[in-house]
Amino acid sequence: MRTSQSKLHIGIVGGGIAGVGLALDLCRHSHLSVQLFEAAPAFGEVGAGVSFGANAVRAIAGLGIAEPYRKIADQTQDPWQDIWFEWRRGEDAGYLGASLAEGVGQSSVHRADFLDALASQLPEGIAQFGKRAVSVEQDGEQARVVFTDGTEHRCDLLIAADGIKSSIRDHVLSGLGYPLVAPRFSGTCAYRGMIDSEQLRAAYRARGVDEHLIDVPQMYLGLDAHILTFPVKQGRLINVVAFISDRSRPDPTWPSDAPWVRNASQEEMLSAFDHWGDAAKVLLECIPAPTLWALHELDELPGYVHGRVGLIGDAAHAMLPHQGAGAGQGLEDAWLLARLLADPQVLDSQPQAVLAAYDAIRRPRACRVQRTSWEAGELYEMRDPVVADDEQLLGKTLAERFDWLWNHDMQSDLQEARAQLGWRASA
């Protein structure tokens, strides 16, 4: 048992949003010693706009990073500030309904901007770069991670925030006695691009398309395809993601030697949406050089924790982006772990018990978010068996289905975890 003067040594592998967010919170506490290891030579995020629901915005505030987030976040202007998305038919942009997130609406940032804002707040010496983990071992006292450069790090707790291709997930699953889980191709690909908002405004004006569709986040729905748009960079750019799903086989595969992201031609993208209406077509015509992303996900894992090693973020629950919830779930992971580890009572507890409480609380919710993210894609692409082609039911379902996700009580999660650990009500 540690004395109250000792420190808990925590290693974090992976410098994405969840890993850096966790490190930022933990390094503020004198009883914790934190090191973060990133494989790349510098912090960097792949992707464009990322959307956060009300639950994720609360997690951001709870991690103490609300101010840097507020400075770069985009929100829809009054009087549409509570709209998450308006839902429309892809064929003619006909209105189906809207989902409202009161007080938050469509809160979004450019991924790289957000990570930059977080990383700039990390104290000197916390992050080390060029550190790609290759193996993990643990004994009764410590976890040991070995990197490709031959160095190693020993710590009391090791947190893997190294993404969907995590090199540490195998250690956790094999340690628990479960089969290994690899990323799985979903059958859905996404064309991505950014458009200057004034360019899009001029193009819409020229074709007689309502400019309201630029000012408010939109989701256009169609059979086996859907398109979303929302502003980033303080409204200067419009983030566009056009999804297309191949449902011709029940177990789609992606060639093992093919990259998950590649450049695509505009012609290829336009041909996938050639039967859609002007609002969608003009939008895509403003993206001369899209990228194509093969969307992969993980099966729900039977455990996120083995001994002194735990998984957070996409390493634990990589999901489809259809609820805008993936990054938010990583932030919820980081928030709960940070609140537990920040409590000095952690020094009188077994570190493994803290991870076990995290797993018990977080895994059921994250698995449900994974599952419902897939279900959301089925709904958007007219494949939901309950809604079918009933537009009125579709609009009602879309208006209500996100409430449980956004309104989750994270304080209740913390209380439950503390009770499981037998901790006093307040430190």
CATH value at residue 137: 3.50.50.60
Same structural domain, 172 and 61:
yes
Task: Say if 94 falls within a structural domain.
Answer: no
Same structural domain, 395 and 337:
yes
Helices (H), ranges, 293-350: 314-317, 326-342
336-363: average pLDDT: 96
The answer to whether the bond into 79 is cis (omega within 30° of 0) is: yes
**pLDDT tens sequence across 165-213:** 999 999 999 999 999 999 999 999 999 999 999 999 999 999 999 999 9
Task: Say if 427 falls within a structural domain.
Answer: no
- Which amino acid, 127? A
Task: Say if 328 falls within a structural domain.
Answer: yes
Burial class (CB in 10 A: 0-12, 13-18, 19+), 400: exposed
Given a cut of 50, is residue 4 above it in pLDDT?
no
Per DSSP, 333 falls in state H
Q: How far apart are CA 122 and CA 274, in angstroms?
A: 47
Give the pLDDT of residue 47: 65
**pLDDT tens sequence across 285-298:** 999 999 999 999 99
Give the pLDDT of residue 105: 85
Task: Say if 190 falls within a structural domain.
Answer: yes
Q: Name the domain count of the chain.
A: 2
Same structural domain, 53 and 138:
yes
Specify the long-range contacts of residues 359-364, CB closer than 8 Å, at least 24 apart: 359/303, 359/304, 359/305, 359/310, 360/417, 360/420, 361/336, 361/413, 361/416, 361/417, 361/420, 362/304, 362/332, 362/333, 362/336, 362/413, 363/301, 363/303, 363/304, 363/316
- The CATH number for 210's domain is 3.30.9.30
Task: Say if 93 falls within a structural domain.
Answer: no
Decide which of 252, 270, 297 is a domain's last residue.
297
Given a cut of 70, is residue 107 above it in pLDDT?
yes
Same structural domain, 150 and 24:
yes
Task: Say if 97 falls within a structural domain.
Answer: no
339-353: average pLDDT: 94
Tokens 């974090």, residue located? 12
Q: How far apart are CA 160 and CA 175, in angstroms?
A: 15
Q: Choose between 152 and 45: higher pLDDT.
A: 152
Structural domain including 239 reads 184-297
Catalytic residues: 192
Segment (H or E) for 217: none
- Diameter of the chain measured on Cα atoms: 72
Given a cut of 70, is residue 426 above it in pLDDT?
no
Same structural domain, 363 and 384:
yes
Give the pLDDT of residue 46: 66
Task: Say if 261 falls within a structural domain.
Answer: yes
- Token output for 75: 């929100």
Same structural domain, 117 and 229:
no
**pLDDT tens sequence across 382-407:** 999 999 889 999 999 999 999 999 99
Given a cut of 60, is residue 45 above it in pLDDT?
yes
Give the pLDDT of residue 1: 39
CA 40, chain centre distance (Å): 20
Decide which of 297, 320, 355 is a domain's last residue.
297
Decide which of 246, 276, 297 is a domain's last residue.
297
If pLDDT is split at 50, 70 and 90, which confidence band does 427 have? very low
Same structural domain, 194 and 162:
no
Q: Which residues, in sequence order, are CB contacts of 3 under 8 Å at separation 6+?
A: 347
Same structural domain, 155 and 40:
yes
Give the pLDDT of residue 5: 47
Task: Say if 243 falls within a structural domain.
Answer: yes
Same structural domain, 150 and 233:
no
Same structural domain, 19 and 30:
yes
Same structural domain, 218 and 119:
no
Same structural domain, 152 and 269:
no
Burial class (CB in 10 A: 0-12, 13-18, 19+), 49: buried
The tally of CA atoms less than 13 A away on the side-chain side of residue 384 is 22
Given a cut of 60, is residue 130 above it in pLDDT?
yes
Q: How far apart are CA 410 and CA 258, in angstroms?
A: 40
